[in-house]
Structure 1
Amino acid sequence: MSDPGVRVAAVDCGTNSIRLLIADLVDGQLVEVDRRMTIVRLGQGVDSTGAFAPEALARVFKAAEDFAAVIQSKAVSRLRFVATSAARDVSNRDAFAAGIEERLGVRPEIITGTEEAELSFRGATTSLDLPAPYLVADIGGGSTELVLGDATGVIAAESLDIGSVRLTERHVTTDPTSEPELAAITQDIDTLLAGTKVPLADARALIAVAGTATTVAAVALNLPEYDRDAVHHARLSTTQLRDTTTWLTTSTRAARAAVHSIHPGRVDVIGAGALILQRLVDRLPVDTLTVSEHDILDGVALSLG
């Protein structure tokens, strides 16, 4: 008799978005039931204030209520909620945790950057056949996780305090972004990449995950609207990445907003995110990158087995 599996739900709450995955876990593999995402900008102002803004908490609590209704309707047996970069840095994390527990019935786990990296690696590398060791890059709103590993697991991992929201809020005041602002963002990125303990030169392949990478891929592929199937496991050349990054960092907000494959909640921060990806690729001995829709969310779901 085959394993009937167990239905699990994973919630990942980051600096820019909150996401839900409901799946049946069968023989160590995920069979997707529902996947959704809401832009909540939880990290609004965190870099400067050190606290969650009341309006940001209101947005994330509303999304949690919506997710709770979906979870209940799908007869989920196990639920895990993880929170990442923004929640590590704030003074009022208890208010956030209490609000989530009230709505979803579980206490959110404020995971470390290392655990975030390992979960991203597990989720991203399932069903991929690439030369090892491979580097998984998870570019978020508040941080970027770098994980080098192979089929046996993680070799080195680190979480860097560079993300699309964090760098945009720190440096960008003009539209389009000015050259001095781009230079300041680049300096922040290069400083942290230069000091990472992850041996980037050892990577033989790059897997880029999460909203920045998938959005960059959608733009690079000239998709008329966001298409998850077209983006998942898409391979971009370094030339495609550079051309796309140049456009995203020098275009006006209105021009980016007119591109239907860019989620409205990413329009103002995608330039900084793309620049993180570009500066990372510049340091790697690779000429292509693979984009994956599977990431930390899938890793969290797999951890419930």
Structure 2
Amino acid sequence: MPEQRARVAAIDCGTNSIRLLISDIGDGRKTDLLREMRVVRLGQDVDRTGHLAEDAVQRTLQASREYAELIAMFGVTDIRFCATSAVRDADNAEAFGDAVEGVLGVRPEVLAGDDEARASFLGATRDLDDVRTLVVDIGGGSTEIVVGTGDRIEWSVSLDIGSVRLTERFLPSDPASVSEVAACMEHVDAVLAPVVAQLDPVGSFVGVAGTVTTVAAHSLALPSYDSDVIHRARLDLGDVSAACLSLVQMSVADRRMLPFMHPGRADVIGAGSLILDRLVAQLPLDTDTLVVSEHDILDGIAWDMA
């Protein structure tokens, strides 16, 4: 007898954005019906204060109300709300959870770093070749690095380096000064060094999430953001690094003028690009190509609901 398909809503509440995916899942298949993103910057100043700012919480709750309407409209049977780095680090996470539950009727699940890494890997690799792969997910508050084959994860780590966190900590100027960029790169390299020492060379390299997809759009010189072109694009690592350093050197105003740039990402893409550049430089890769995936932790959250 065929497995019954369920209509699910997965919500990924990150440091910079909150995203919604509504899908029908069953029989080993996932049919996506709706993807939405709101840049709410929930992690605003969390690195400095350890506290979710009230205005950031209100922006996130407003997006949650909009998502609740969409979820009802689509007749969703199951909702999963996952929060990551910013909520992990916040001393008022419990109160935030109460507020979200009041809007959506489900309590946020705060993913540990390893769980976040696993969901990112499963989402990214589900429709890629079944080979040993290293996946990087650069978020606003943290970066996950995962190695595995198929649905078998052999190693993962979550690092407290993300586009929002490092912008607030290292890149206050607009555009960033040479000394600020150098200090940020030095910090990322220091965080990566003990991680790189644990890794064997990997022949398949996949990048996910907004920093990677935006760098891909820049590298490809797209006239507008085009998910179909970006998904599964194969980029030369030298071209990736060149695109990263180009974005770092721009002012926020110049980044906003790029036709593919989401306005809520323009002020933090410099730090995210530096993280990607240092990953390309430091990771033990047996490939000269980055594969870009539009499928990520959000898809992994949905698959886990099957």
Q: TM-score, normalised by structure 1?
A: 0.97
One-letter amino acid matched to 1:68: A
Answering whether residue 81 of structure 2 is matched by residue 78 of structure 1, we say: no
The alpha-carbon deviation at position 200 of structure 1 amounts to: 3.6
Residues 146 and 198 in structure 1, CA contact (< 8 A), matched pair in contact too: no
Q: Structure 1 stretches (4+) deviating beyond 3 angstroms?
A: 1-4, 197-201
1:288 paired residue number: 289
Aligned to 1:299: 300
Q: Check whether the contact 1:176–1:252 (CA below 8 A) recurs between aligned residues.
A: yes
Identify the residue that residue 236 of structure 1 maps to in structure 2.
235
Asked if the contact 2:217/2:260 (under 8 Å) is kept, the reply is yes
The residue aligned with 1:253 is: 252
The CA distance in 2 between the partners of 1:40 and 1:273, in whole Å, is: 17
Equivalent residues in 2 for 1:25-174, closer than 5 Å: 25-129=25-129, 132-151=131-150, 153-174=152-173
CA distance in 1, matches of 2:151, 2:140: 29
Q: Distance in 2 between matches of 1:53 and 1:278?
A: 30
Gapped regions of structure 2 (runs ≥ 5): none
CA distance in 2, matches of 1:4, 1:90: 39
1:135-214 correspondence to structure 2 within 5 Å: 135-151=134-150, 153-196=152-195, 199-214=198-213
Query: Is the partner of 1:34 in helix, strand or coil?
Result: strand
In the aligned structure 2, how far is the partner of 1:113 from the partner of 1:302?
Answer: 18
Alpha-carbon distance in structure 2 between the residues aligned to 1:184 and 1:32: 42
Report the CA distance shift for 1:116/1:198 in structure 2 as closer, same or farther (over 3 A): farther
Counterpart amino acid of residue 13 in structure 1: C
Amino acid at match of 2:105: G
* Amino acid corresponding to residue 303 of structure 1 in structure 2: D
Q: Which amino acid aligns with 2:238?
A: T
In 2, Cα distance between equivalents of 1:151 and 1:108: 28
For the residues of structure 1 that align with 2:122 and 2:244, how far apart are their CA atoms?
A: 27
Cα distance in 1 between the residues matched to 2:29 and 2:209: 20
**CA deviation after TM superposition for structure 1 residue 113, in Å:** 0.1
On the 8 A contact 1:158/1:197 being kept in 2, the answer is: no
Q: CA deviation at 1:225?
A: 1.1
Identity of aligned residues (%): 49
What SS does the aligned partner of 1:15 have?
Answer: coil
In structure 2, distance between residues paired with 1:152 and 1:252: 41
**2-side partners of 1:49 and 1:143: how far apart?**
16
**Aligned-partner residue type, residue 303 of structure 2:** L
Q: Residue type matched to 1:259 in 2?
A: L
Letter paired with 1:222: A
